[in-house]
Amino acid sequence: MKFFKGAMIAFVTLLSVSANAAFIDFNSYTTSSIVNQHHSGDATASTDGSELTLDGNLWVYITDTFEIQTGTMLYFTLDSFGAEAEVYGLGFNNSNNVTPNTFFQLGGSETSRQNQIATYTFGDGVVDFAIDVGSFFTGTFSNFVFILDADNISGTVSTFSNVEICSVGDVCLSTSSAPSAPTSVDAPSPGIILAMSLVLLAGGRRIFN
């Protein structure tokens, strides 16, 4: 009994320290545009905040403190419809400029100077991604950028959803049986303990490192 009690205390303590990942709630942010990269359309958050939809030809970002360390993973889901864009992508920077080495191209009809980490083909529909961002670069960034580049095309739309940044030691909602809504996890709860007891999701996600 003493061993069981001690194990539970240690488990709850671990959760209180490391259970701090969350899906991004886009309703908690105001999107801004990268200079000279917002030519048409808008960025719109879904009612529950779990999705950011880009419509047109634009690069937008949200501002916060985004810490990328060795081992940091970026999880998200991408869907595109309408016409095929020239570039679908996302990344990080600290200024209102394009910095290809900290950006990722996910797909599109053209090839940019960004890190080419995926082969998202128009028509794939909803695709889950897991990018080992820390293997490409590390640092602290103020802007998280989302890209729908379509200089010579009209009618392009893309949706980023269930976006989560997980560092080593975090309990990641993307790899556990967790709610689909953007839910903050900063303290132990029965729901977290149940999630920790379930098998991690391994299939259906494209992993790049």
pLDDT of 159 higher than 50: yes
How buried is 60 (Cβ within 10 angstroms: 0-12 exposed, 13-18 middle, 19+ buried)? buried
Can you read off the two tokens belonging to residue 192? 């977290």
202 CA to centre of own chain? 17
**pTM for the full model?**
0.76
pLDDT band at 177 (very low <50, low <70, confident <90, very high): low
Provide the domain count of the chain: 1
* Nearest to 146, CA basis, from 68, 80, 61, 31: 61
Per-residue confidence (pLDDT) for residue 158, from 0 to 100: 96
HSE, side-chain direction, 13 A CA sphere, residue 50 = 15
Quote the DSSP letter at residue 183.
-
Domain containing 156 — which CATH number?
2.60.120
Domain of residue 27 covers 2-208
Per-residue confidence (pLDDT) for residue 207, from 0 to 100: 56
